[in-house]
Amino acid sequence: MGLPETMKLTPRERAEAIEVQKYLHAHPELSTQEQKTSAYLLGHLEAIELPAGVTRQVSRAGRTGFGVAFRNGEGPVVAYRADMDGLPVKELTGLEFASTATQASETGDVVPVMHACGHDSHMAAALGAARKLLANPEQWAGTVVFIFQEAEEIGKGAETMLRDGFWNDLPRPEVLYGAHVVGRPAGQMDVYPGGVTTATDGFKITIRGVSGHGSAPQTAIDPIVIGAAIVMRLQTIAARETDPDKTAVVTVGSFRSGSRWNIIPETAELLLTTRSRDEHTRGVIRNALVRIVNAEAAAAGAPEPIIEQIVSVPATENDPAETSRITEIFTEVFGADHMVPEPFTFSEDVSEFARELDIPYVFWLYGGFSEAQMNREGGPVTNHSPYFYADPELSLEPAVHAALAAILSRVGKA
């Protein structure tokens, strides 16, 4: 149990891992556009000099995703996943390694990009764990598959990679691990049994009105007014239509319409996401959403809106037995006072890799913040904030050690 002293990062290894995270943080790329990120990671993994008897197998899938399997003799097969994409957010952290990157988004607009969700930490931790394993082949036997996933932020990366035959050429693992950094004190570990993250459904709603002059609204049907009514009414789903004991979140992330101050536009577009932990609540939210959107349009005398579901990601449900085992290991490695099991309402598609093979998985959360970040005026920020970052000096080493402890619990030599 635990993590052997020889498998903990040396000062040099720690410094190298931190430099990797800083580089990745400064050079983010949007979902499905992670070509340079993918090449950077793969370059590092292929440059590692393999110990005698260890083999390396690379498999690409999707647009930029890939997996690398390291085989060290006979033994169990374990997978560990990290995600690669950044977000269309302008970084305001003030870090010396802050991102100034821009990229063309899916709409064609050039937008600022940053790692506002900590994927730089996830990648650096996975690479650090791989390097440590290969530097100490005497400590383990079996196969470890490192997955570097594209497009997690849009909920389609795992699906795309699997549809492209990700597992076709790689050893099939008996268990899958993964982790996500959150706005908690560095060193904290959250291994939660059951639904650690929520299911999410993403919708694009096109409200159809009748265009007209801003001075004569009686000749038009204003989709902006209809959209505003829909946005407000959608908030009553969680407040009035779902069980107060159940998780239910409805968030409108984009409202676009019009181009001039004196023109009532023809259409308005809403992009929104819903979150839930159980299928019943998920259905209640979806049905209420459709009813509200159609009813508000009908009340205004507008044509029926177009409702498109653009994302569907299931809840991340940790395997109970495997979660209990990993909790025991992490408690020994990090101490009981660093274990804070608490679910989050964000969503993840990591489970798709395990569901494809019908294997158990455990996805844990780890703290990324310094004391100064936790005591920030106004309170700690959340993932997707322009001020969010995982402090590499404090949070990366625990992230690497957690990955190694979980992996070695299967392939480690007693």
Q: Give the whole-angstrom CA distance, residue 239 versus residue 339.
A: 32
Answer yes or no: do 67 and 166 share one domain: yes
Of the residues 280, 313, 346, the one at which a domain ends: 313
Residue scoring higher pLDDT (107 or 320): 320
What distance in Å separates the CA atoms of residue 38 and residue 32, rounded to the nearest whole number?
11
Helix (H, G, I), strand (E, B) or coil at 53: coil
Spatial neighbors of 316 by CB under 8 A, at least 6 apart, are: 195, 196, 197, 347, 348, 350, 351, 363
Q: Is the pLDDT of residue 414 over 80?
A: no
270 with 294, same domain: the answer is yes
Residue 1: the pLDDT is 64
Return d(Cα 391, Cα 380) in angstroms, integer. Answer: 13
Beta-carbon-side half-sphere exposure of residue 344 (alpha carbons within 13 Å): 21
Instruction: With cut-offs at 50, 70 and 90, classify the pLDDT of residue 2.
Output: confident
Q: Answer yes or no: is pLDDT of 20 > 70.
A: yes
Asked if 34 and 136 sit in the same domain, the reply is yes
pLDDT band of residue 341 (cuts 50, 70, 90) is confident
Question: What confidence tens digit (pLDDT) does each residue in 40-92 have?
Answer: 999 999 999 999 999 999 999 999 999 999 999 999 999 999 999 999 999 99
Percentage above 90 pLDDT, the chain: 94
Same domain? For 93 and 218 the reply is no
Check the annotation: does 115 bind a ligand. no
User: Identity (one letter) of the amino acid at 273?
Assistant: T
Same structural domain for residues 304 and 354?
Answer: no
Which positions are annotated as active-site residues?
83, 153
Residues 55 and 82 in one domain: yes
Tell me how far apart the alpha carbons of residues 147 and 338 are, in angstroms, rounded to a whole number: 27
126 and 264 in one domain?
no
CA distance linking residue 177 with residue 181, whole number of Å: 14
pLDDT at 340: 86
Kindly report, residue by residue over 347-364, the tens digit of the pLDDT: 999 999 999 999 999 999
Question: Could you report the per-residue pLDDT of 283-320, keeping only the tens digit for each?
Answer: 999 999 999 999 999 999 999 999 999 999 999 999 99
Predicted pLDDT of residue 79:
98
Direct distance between the N- and C-terminal alpha carbons of the chain, in angstroms, rounded to an integer? 9
Q: Averaged over 338-350, what is the pLDDT?
A: 88
Do residues 264 and 207 make contact, with C-beta atoms less than 8 angstroms apart?
no
d(CA 163, CA 160): 5
Main-chain dihedrals φ then ψ at residue 199, nearest 5 degrees: -75, 150
Per-residue model confidence as pLDDT tens digits over 122-162: 999 999 999 999 999 999 999 999 999 999 999 999 999 99
For residues 413 and 19, which has the higher predicted lDDT (pLDDT)?
19
- For residue 213, give the CATH number of its domain: 3.30.70.360
3-state helix, strand, coil in the chain (%, to 5): 40, 30, 35
122 is in an annotated binding site: no
State how beta strands 306-313 and 199-208 pair.
antiparallel
117 among annotated binding-site residues: yes
Determine contact, residues 29/36, Cβ cutoff 8 Å: yes
Q: Residue 224 carries which side chain, given as an amino acid letter?
A: I
209 and 91 in one domain? no
Residue 207 sits in which domain range? 199-313
62 and 133 together in one domain: yes
**Are residue 168 and residue 224 in the same domain, yes or no?**
no
The percentage of residues in the chain with a pLDDT greater than 70, rounded to a whole number, is 100
